[in-house]
């Protein structure tokens, strides 16, 4: 019964059932597309496009791959030995909705978080955690692979759970595999050396992290049991990569890099809160062998289209210096949009203008306060004659379900993974609840043009996409002084609602770190904190810089605010108590 339904779905005709048994092979996908949802699953799309929800609430979904028979494989953010870290989905009825959903790929790994890679290559399903790349051989007809799970690559460096060391993977057509080794810091700063009384540490020069991090490494594809020393450094100066893909059209590796953070909160005497919100750029990079893209010494300004010296190395937002010699990106996007998915369209279903163009999933910002959080949509960059046009478009929007996003947690969904199915449909995953969309084109491809794009162009004026006005779009200009002070120096990470960001920034609500011993809390803010810790059952391992540059009265105001808000009800912190801890008493 299962085989008969399976063949009806993929061949479209029941009569082919007996033929399939004789030849034992697969068949091409149906030409007729399933119906889209009446509301397109909540998405706004260009004219002629529609979408359906393949599955909902599958878990914290990351990257996605679709096999030639339509089976879908999704990498979850984390894994456990019992439950698994991947999901396999199959539609057996032909309506586009997954009716078989199976969790698999469980493994007992200490750092099994931030799963990212999910790629089908040469008959294998590749998937990764933050530090390990695995693969399973796929067999015809199998939904869940029964083959032995092989360890392809292990990041054997001593570091904790960190979002900069995710392991997306890409393959070229010459037998090579590419994997990033992200930088564990913001800008290779030495937190014991704070220039000009700011909380931002001076940059180490030369940066020792660049020896084994902050770049892309190339390996022989098909091999297993690899570590970094088995590959060669392909390019350097690349801070953090989640979105990466091989462009088959021009045969080059591309990625969209996460730019550095906290220009204002670390260097308030140099950068404004507006600059902090829109800079530095998320860089769309064509990766060429041997190139240096400037991290940590430089950052890219998408408005001026130049690389500038980072403040850790004496930069002031205007000085180019040594950055004149660094490789520029092919284009830049506004800061903190969090590019987490990159996919070059290789299908034939969409209009011709999408062929070989780049879809980018912007996961959305966490640290744009006092301005609206931004991103949370899927963009598109057209390519002409093998080069990007330099103009980006809004392709799919509506994930957040709200227009003004104050806190990251306000967004209902956050787009993450992208891939093309065998019939040319585009699949998009959501990392919050695990929703999966299938986007299809059902209009007249020959007449597709400006009229169909007009509605999406107008969405660029919405608060979560547009470049904010320095004064008019400041959401905090009328807030009480204590709340604004908190939002300026703490809310960019811990969020304005105190809930933090899952897996990245710890919450301030309902934790003894805030409501408990006042001296410990004061010391943390004065001296900073780094290393692993657990808060409310969630693990964190980041760097909180020292805020010793703030005056005692300012610190007391901030700490009193967090102890009396977000559901907390603890006593105030006085200026005298801050001064005492500062003196070491």
Contact (Cβ atoms closer than 8 angstroms) between residue 116 and residue 242: yes
**Percentages of the chain per state (helix, strand, coil), in multiples of 5:** 20, 30, 50
**Average pLDDT value for residue range 488-492:** 81
Q: Can you give the pLDDT at residue 164?
A: 81
Close Cβ partners of 416 (under 8 Å, ≥ 6 residues apart): 61, 62, 63, 340, 341, 361, 363, 428, 429, 430, 431
The distance between the two most distant Cα atoms of the chain, rounded to a whole number of Å, is 85
What is the CA 275 to chain-centroid distance, rounded?
21
Question: DSSP 3-state assignment of 156?
Answer: coil
- Write a three-state SS string for 189-241: EECCCCHHHCCCCEECCCCHHHHCCCEEEEEECCCCCEEHHHCEEEEECCCCE
Instruction: Return the CA Rg of the chain.
Output: 24
Q: Can you give the pLDDT at residue 82?
A: 60
How far apart CA 438 and CA 50 sit, in angstroms, is: 8
Give the pLDDT confidence of 2-33 residue by residue, as tens digits: 333 333 333 333 323 323 333 333 444 445 89
Q: Can you give the pLDDT at residue 17?
A: 31
Q: Can you give the pLDDT at residue 346?
A: 94
Q: Residues of the chain with pLDDT > 90: what percent?
A: 72
How far apart CA 2 and CA 15 sit, in angstroms, is: 15
Q: Can you give the pLDDT at residue 585?
A: 64
What is the CA 401 to chain-centroid distance, rounded?
19
Residue 388: count other Cβ atoms within 10 Å of its Cβ: 18
Q: Is pLDDT of 529 > 90?
A: no
Phi, psi values for residue 539, rounded to 5° = -90, 140
Strand partners, 233: 217
Q: Residues of the chain with pLDDT > 70: what percent?
A: 90
**Average pLDDT value for residue range 214-238:** 98
Q: Give the pLDDT band of residue 195 (cuts 50, 70, 90).
A: low
Please give the model's pTM, rounded to 2 decimal places. 0.86
Assigned token pair, 201: 């540490």
- Write a three-state SS string for 479-548: CCHHHHHHHHHHHHHHCCCCCCECCCECCCCCCHHHHCCHHHHHHHHHHCEECCEEECCEEECCEECCCC
Contact (Cβ atoms closer than 8 angstroms) between residue 230 and residue 223: yes
């Amino acid at each position: 019964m299962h085989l008969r339904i399976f063949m009806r779905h993929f061949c479209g005709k029941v009569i082919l059932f007996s033929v399939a048994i004789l030849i034992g092979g697969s068949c091409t996908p149906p030409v007729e597309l399933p119906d889209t949802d009446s509301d397109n699953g909540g998405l706004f799309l260009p004219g002629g496009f529609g979408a359906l929800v393949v599955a909902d609430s599958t878990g914290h979904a990351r990257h996605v791959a679709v096999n030639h028979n339509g089976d879908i494989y999704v990498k979850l953010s984390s894994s456990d030995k019992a439950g698994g870290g991947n999901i396999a989905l199959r539609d057996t009825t032909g309506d586009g909705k997954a009716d078989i959903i199976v969790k698999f790929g469980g493994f007992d790994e200490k750092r099994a978080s931030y799963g990212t890679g999910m790629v089908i290559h040469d008959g294998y399903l590749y998937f990764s955690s933050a530090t390990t790349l695995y693969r399973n051989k796929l067999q015809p007809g199998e939904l869940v692979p029964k083959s032995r799970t092989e360890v392809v690559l292990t990041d054997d460096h001593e570091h904790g759970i960190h979002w900069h060391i995710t392991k997306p993977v890409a393959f070229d057509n010459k037998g090579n595999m590419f994997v990033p080794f992200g930088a564990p810091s913001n800008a290779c700063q030495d937190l014991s050396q704070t220039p000009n009384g700011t909380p931002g540490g001076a940059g180490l020069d030369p940066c020792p992290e660049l020896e084994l991090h902050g770049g892309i490494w190339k390996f022989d594809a098909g091999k297993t049991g690899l570590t970094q020393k088995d590959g060669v450094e392909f390019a350097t100066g690349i801070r953090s990569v989640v979105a990466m893909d091989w462009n088959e059209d021009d045969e080059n590796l591309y990625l969209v890099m996460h730019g550095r953070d906290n220009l204002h909160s670390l260097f308030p005497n140099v950068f404004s809160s507006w600059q902090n919100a829109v800079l530095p750029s998320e860089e769309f990079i064509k990766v060429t062998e041997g190139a240096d893209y400037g991290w940590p010494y430089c950052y890219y300004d998408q408005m001026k289209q130049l690389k500038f010296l980072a403040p850790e190395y004496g930069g002031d937002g205007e000085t180019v210096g040594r950055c004149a010699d660094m490789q520029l990106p092919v284009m830049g996007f506004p800061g903190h949009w969090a590019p987490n998915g990159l996919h070059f369209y290789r299908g034939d279903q969409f209009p011709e203008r999408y062929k070989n163009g780049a879809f980018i999933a912007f996961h959305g910002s966490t640290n744009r306060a006092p301005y609206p959080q931004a991103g949370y949509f899927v963009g598109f960059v057209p390519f002409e004659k093998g080069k990007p046009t330099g103009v980006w478009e809004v392709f799919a929007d509506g994930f957040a379900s709200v227009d003004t996003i104050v806190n990251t947690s306000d967004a209902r969904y956050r787009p993450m993974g992208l891939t093309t199915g065998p019939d040319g449909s585009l699949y998009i995953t959501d990392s919050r609840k695990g929703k999966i969309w299938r986007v299809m084109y059902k209009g007249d491809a020959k007449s597709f043009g400006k009229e169909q794009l007009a509605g999406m162009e107008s969405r660029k004026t919405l608060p979560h996409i547009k470049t904010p006005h320095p004064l008019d779009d400041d959401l905090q200009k009328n807030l009480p002084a204590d709340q604004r002070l908190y939002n300026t120096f703490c809310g960019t990470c811990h969020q304005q609602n105190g809930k933090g960001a899952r897996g990245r920034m710890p919450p301030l609500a309902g934790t003894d770190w805030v409501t408990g011993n006042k001296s410990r809390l004061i010391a943390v803010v004065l001296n900073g904190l780094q290393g692993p810790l657990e808060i409310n059952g969630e693990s964190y391992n980041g760097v909180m810089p020292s805020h010793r540059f703030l005056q005692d009265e300012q610190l007391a105001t901030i700490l009193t605010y967090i102890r009396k808000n977000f559901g907390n009800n603890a006593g105030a912190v006085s200026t005298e108590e801050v001064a005492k801890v500062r003196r070491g008493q």
